[in-house]
Copies of this chain bind each other. A is one copy, B any other.
Amino acid sequence: MKFSFRPNEGAFYELFTRAAQNLVRGTELLNELALPDVEVQSVSERLTEVEHDSDKITHELYKKINSTFVTPFDREDIYRLGSLLDDVMDHLEAVGNLLYLYGLTKLPSLPREMHELVHVLDQQAKLTAEAMPRLKSMKDLEDYWIEINRLENDGDQAYRMLLVRLFSGEYDALTVLKMKEVADELEAACDSFEHVANTVETIAVKES
């Protein structure tokens, strides 16, 4: 019989992994928005479903923290990591939702820099989903957080260039304001991935 001193710890890693896999589903849905003849309302609704699923995972995680005697690492860090993964999902959902609500997809095309930002998010989501199971061993995580930070810099650059374009006079003021809201959510998602990675780094520093 296999004996584990920390019988419940597997469940924590599984919840983190599921939360991160939802982020991959989220960025894949955002990628669909670049396709011709996309049904924006349907993408927005599917994003909302994924977001609700993430909420459930987060609550399951919080309940598990409360009902577990020995947690794999600090309760507060588990709590924070869960809450930050949830933040990313909120921003991804907001992007799809705002694009639909503001009718922005009726424009001939969205600025190229928006697609660049979605591409950065997609890579960040995949790296995060791959890293979560490695929390168990606390090994091979350094590449993950370095790469997330590098991608966040790329995202920052794309965001700045997006604003330069938005303010160039190519669009009218109200369209600029709408796109700016979407741009801010894209950038906030990018930042949130970095916050997740920084928290993983903090945990690894403490546990090492």
Contact = CB atoms under 8 A, between A and B. Distances in A.
B167 A174 contact: yes
A98 interface: yes
Interface in A154-183: 160, 163-164, 166-167, 169, 173-174, 176-178, 180-181
B205 A75 contact: yes
State the main secondary structure of chain A at its contact with B. helix
Contact of A202 (B79, B160, B205): B79
A167 B178 contact: yes
A150 to B, nearest CB: 12
Copies in the complex: 3
Interface residues of A, number: 30
A160 B205 contact: no
A206 interface: yes
Contacts of A163: 181
A101 interface: yes
Given A76-B202, A83-B198, A180-B177, A97 B160 contact: yes
A48 to B, nearest CB: 12
A141 interface: no
B65 A205 contact: yes
Shortest beta-carbon contacts, A-B, top 6: A173-B173, A167-B178, A167-B174, A101-B164, A167-B177, A66-B205
